[in-house]
Amino acid sequence: MKHRRAARIALGALRPSGAALGALAAALAFGQAVTAPGPSRSFIACPIYRDTVNGRKSGCWLATDASDGVRYDVSLGRTKPQIGHEILVEGRVSSDRAACGGLAMTPIHVSVLETTCPSFTLPAEGFPGRRYEVPLNLVLPPADAVREPPPPPYPPRTWAIEFAYGSDFLQYQYSEVILDDIARYVLAAHPRAVTIDGYAATRGWVVSERRLSEPATLAASRAALVAEALQRLGVAPSLLKVSWHGNAQAEPIDDGLPEPSKRRVDIKMSY
């Protein structure tokens, strides 16, 4: 699949609201109670938007798994679907369907695909959606705010940033917080090196009777974009050691979903 060359990372865009907390941050942003994870589910579908009237950003995204006809609420992902484009849904199922009229999935990853499909919208039909609440405890301060550096000690650390399938886009309200955390830590700790390893899911897997895989070049562009972002945040280019790999292995990142964890960049600080 042709992937988008995204990630236009102007420094002014580095203003997020929830990062390494992943799906938890998304759930908190919508005032959703976090429940125990259910069974995992992956499928490709055409998204439907439900136009609820519970304030701004309260609308719901729904998708039906054609294999069993079950409709899922896919609103709680880091990225939202796009009307008229198929989506890859990867997540865990909960029992909640009161807000939007579909079984809620959380944690969940939504990847917008290049393939097009019919556009559908639904009225509220009595479903309230989720009233949006700004998660003030997860928002970065303004760019001109004076911030104290992280306190010592500064042991070696490793971070990970996940990506949507087929994309090198640094996701708004997720990647920026992690990048900010890395840059501030590195500038305070003065490490010998910062190693950046990009990964892509080149081995491939089958979802909804389609075989999906990513090109190895995507691992390279993911790593390069993370390196560029860190340089824009003040990390010296001489510290950065960039490499990339295919056939990525699943790692226990954030929400524990295996396939999304293969589409990542690892950032490791060493002395």
Report the phi/psi class of residue 124: left, alpha or beta, with left for phi > 0 and alpha for psi in -120 to 50.
alpha
pLDDT band at 41 (very low <50, low <70, confident <90, very high): very high
Domain parsing of the chain, residue ranges: 23-123, 150-270
Other beta carbons less than 10 A from residue 153's beta carbon: 5
**CA atoms within 13 Å, Cβ hemisphere of 256:** 9
The length of the chain in residues reads: 271
Question: Is the per-residue pLDDT at 11 higher than 60?
Answer: no
**Rounded CA gap, 60 and 77, in Å?**
11
Cα maximum dimension of the chain: 58
Residue 37: the pLDDT is 57
DSSP for 90-139 reads EEEE-S--TTTSSEEEEEEEEEEEEEE---EEEE-TT---------GGGP
For residue 222, give the 3-state DSSP assignment.
helix
Q: How far apart are the first and last CA of the chain?
A: 39
Q: What is the pLDDT of residues 170-205, one digit of tens each?
A: 998 789 999 999 999 999 999 999 999 999 999 989
Residues 6+ apart with CB under 8 A from 45: 63, 64, 65, 66, 86, 87, 89, 208
**How far is CA 165 from each of CA 28, 107, 258, 263, rounded to the nearest angstrom?**
24, 16, 13, 7
Q: Are 96 and 87 in contact (CB under 8 A)?
A: no
**Rounded CA gap, 228 and 186, in Å?**
15
Q: What is the pLDDT of residues 103-161, one digit of tens each?
A: 999 999 999 999 999 999 999 999 999 888 776 656 788 878 889 999 999 999 999 99
Q: Strand order in 48-51's β-sheet?
A: 40-45, 85-93, 103-116, 70-73, 60-65, 48-51, 120-123
At CA 109, angle to CA 108 and CA 110, rounded to 5?
120
Q: Which CATH architecture has domain 150-270?
A: 2-Layer Sandwich (3.30)
**CA atoms within 13 Å, Cβ hemisphere of 75:** 31
Q: What is the pLDDT of residues 216-263, one digit of tens each?
A: 999 999 999 999 999 999 999 999 999 999 988 888 887 889 999 999
**CA atoms within 13 Å, Cβ hemisphere of 153:** 4
DSSP summary character for residue 260: H
Other beta carbons less than 10 A from residue 204's beta carbon: 10
At residue 198, what is the residue type? G
Asked if CATH classification 2.40.50 holds for the domain at 23-123, the reply, yes or no, is: yes
The proportion of the chain whose per-residue pLDDT surpasses 90, expressed as a percent, equals 67
